């Protein structure tokens, strides 16, 4: 691509993200909806001005890992651990139910093949941690109890999603499934998630020491971005989703980070604050690119809207996707307010569902009609919950 064309595309993305976000807020929706809509409008769904090409996709990936880094920095590790039990229940129930509902509907009702049905189940499982977190932040609920539960659940959900994808991939190429392999992935990911924040913490202390002896300006932006990139890369190497690397790096730099045995790794609040301050503009620059690119990737144009099959198919799976995620909250001991908030926040599928659906299409497991149906389900689960959450918080107050 020529440089000036790239400049033009990037500025169109940044400006339209901003304009649509402002419009979204004016009509009472969270700003992330505006950014997603900007992508849908610019992309193949509507005007076809932009394609989600490689460069944009890579910039978007930087955006999402930086967003998760930001979320990690704001997370209170102790509270995340406290919410652990509830998170686990919400994650597991919200993972298994949509998978089973999706699979059974596809296999018995629509009589699709075993592999296709399994893939449809997979597409319905994973919550989009990025969209969920952005909505909670847009609504200024990111430090509330329900957010800790949702965050923990969404992270676990992502891990389970990766394990499932690994299993389904094996099944689709080899025909069999090795539980040993799945266990290995799970083990690696869990180890990563325990060790990465400690490692990142040690590195951040090195950066701080380096900071006091370096004369060249610009240490924090380059080294902290490198730290985030490194853990995203490392996450991939051990088989975990890259965004978990960003989240782990953020947790490590959180002012509320604690280690049971690590008093020597205590936080310097001034340094954490400086990192927060210098990273903010960089994060604010990159994250809208991610949400616009998610919108660009949704090609609503490919859908034959007049086909009755599509509507029937999409509504049944939409129901499976909604019910499947909501069920988990009936098993946790929280107020009805928190349970409702958690249920709504777990619904968005966003980019994770799209990755599954895309994989299904490119490997020939989904035909165009099934793919189109899944895209409708993903679009609705992505666009509706933010509006519902906004409405919910506007009409109900947390009982204190």
Residue of 150, 107, 274 lying closest to 204 (CA atoms): 274
Cα gap 239→162, rounded to integer Å? 8
Residue from the set 222, 312, 363, 367 that interacts with its own copies by CB under 8 A: 222
Rule CB under 8 A: is residue 288 a binding residue for its own copies? yes
What are phi and psi for residue 274, nearest 5 degrees?
-65, -45
Shortest distance in whole angstroms from residue 295 CB to its own copies? 16
> Contact between 31 and its own copies (CB under 8 A)?
yes
What is the number of residues in the chain?
Answer: 400
- The nearer residue to its own copies, 23 or 327, going by C-beta atoms, is 23
Size of residue set near its own copies by CB under 8 A: 51
332 conformational bin, left if phi > 0, alpha if psi -120 to 50, beta if neither? beta
179/360 Cα distance (integer angstroms): 22
User: What string of H, E and C letters represents the secondary structure of 305-356?
Assistant: CCCHHHHHHHHHHHHHHHHHHHHHHHHCCCCHHHHHHHHHHCCCCHHHHHHH
**Does 58 participate in binding its own copies (rule CB under 8 A)?**
yes
User: What part of residues 296-315 is at the interface with its own copies (CB under 8 A)?
Assistant: none
Stretch that binds its own copies, among 7-15, 170-178, 293-301, 351-359 (CB under 8 A): 7-15
| Residue 158 touches its own copies, criterion: CB under 8 A | no
Q: Which of 48, 262, 281, 364 binds its own copies (CB under 8 A)?
A: 281
For 239: left if phi > 0, alpha if psi spans -120 to 50, otherwise beta; the answer is: left
Q: Determine the 3-state secondary structure of 382 from DSSP.
A: helix
22 near its own copies (CB under 8 A): yes
**Contacting residue, 15, 104, 195, 323, with its own copies by CB under 8 A:** 15
Among residues 78, 236, 266, 336, which is the contact residue for its own copies, using CB under 8 A?
236
Give the residues lining the site for its own copies (CB under 8 A).
Answer: 1, 3-4, 6-8, 10-11, 14-15, 17-18, 21-22, 25, 31, 54-55, 57-58, 61-62, 65, 214-223, 225-226, 229-230, 232-233, 236-237, 242, 278-282, 284-285, 287-288
């Amino acid at each position: 691509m020529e440089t000036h064309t790239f400049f033009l595309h990037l500025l169109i993305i940044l400006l339209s993200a901003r304009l649509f976000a402002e419009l979204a807020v004016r009509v009472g929706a969270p700003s992330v909806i505006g950014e997603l809509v900007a992508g849908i409008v610019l992309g193949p769904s509507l005007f076809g001005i932009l394609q989600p090409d490689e460069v944009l996709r890579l910039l978007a990936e930087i955006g999402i890992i930086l967003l998760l880094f930001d979320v990690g920095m704001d997370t209170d590790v102790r509270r995340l651990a406290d919410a652990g039990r509830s998170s686990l229940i919400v994650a597991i129930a919200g993972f298994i139910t949509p998978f089973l509902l999706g699979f059974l509907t596809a296999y018995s009702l629509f009589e699709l093949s075993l592999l296709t049905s399994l893939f449809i189940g997979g597409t319905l499982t994973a919550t989009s941690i990025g969209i969920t977190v952005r909505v909670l932040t847009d609504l200024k609920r990111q430090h509330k109890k329900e957010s800790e539960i949702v965050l923990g659940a969404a992270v676990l959900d992502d891990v389970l999603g990766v394990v499932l994808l690994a299993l389904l991939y094996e099944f689709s190429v080899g025909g069999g499934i090795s539980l040993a392999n799945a266990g290995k992935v799970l083990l690696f990911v869990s180890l990563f998630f325990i060790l990465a924040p400690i490692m990142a913490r040690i590195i951040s202390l090195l950066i701080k020491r380096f900071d006091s002896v370096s004369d060249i300006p610009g240490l924090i932006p380059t080294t902290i971005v490198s730290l985030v990139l490194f853990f995203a890369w490392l996450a991939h190497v051990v088989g975990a989703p890259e965004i978990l690397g960003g989240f782990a790096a953020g947790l490590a730099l959180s002012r509320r980070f604690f280690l049971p045995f690590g008093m020597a790794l205590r936080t310097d609040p001034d340094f954490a604050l400086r990192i927060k301050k210098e990273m903010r503009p960089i994060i604010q620059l990159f994250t809208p690119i991610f949400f616009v690119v998610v919108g660009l990737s949704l090609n609503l144009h490919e859908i034959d809207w007049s086909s009755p099959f599509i509507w029937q198919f999409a509504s049944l799976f939409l129901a499976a996707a909604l019910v499947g995620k909501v069920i988990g909250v009936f098993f946790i001991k929280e107020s009805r307010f928190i349970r409702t908030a958690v249920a709504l926040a777990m619904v968005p599928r966003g980019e994770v569902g799209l990755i599954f659906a895309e994989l299904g299409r490119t490997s020939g497991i989904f035909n165009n009609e099934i793919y189109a149906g899944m895209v409708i389900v993903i679009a609705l689960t992505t666009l509706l919950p933010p509006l519902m959450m906004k409405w919910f918080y506007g009409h109900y107050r947390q009982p204190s």
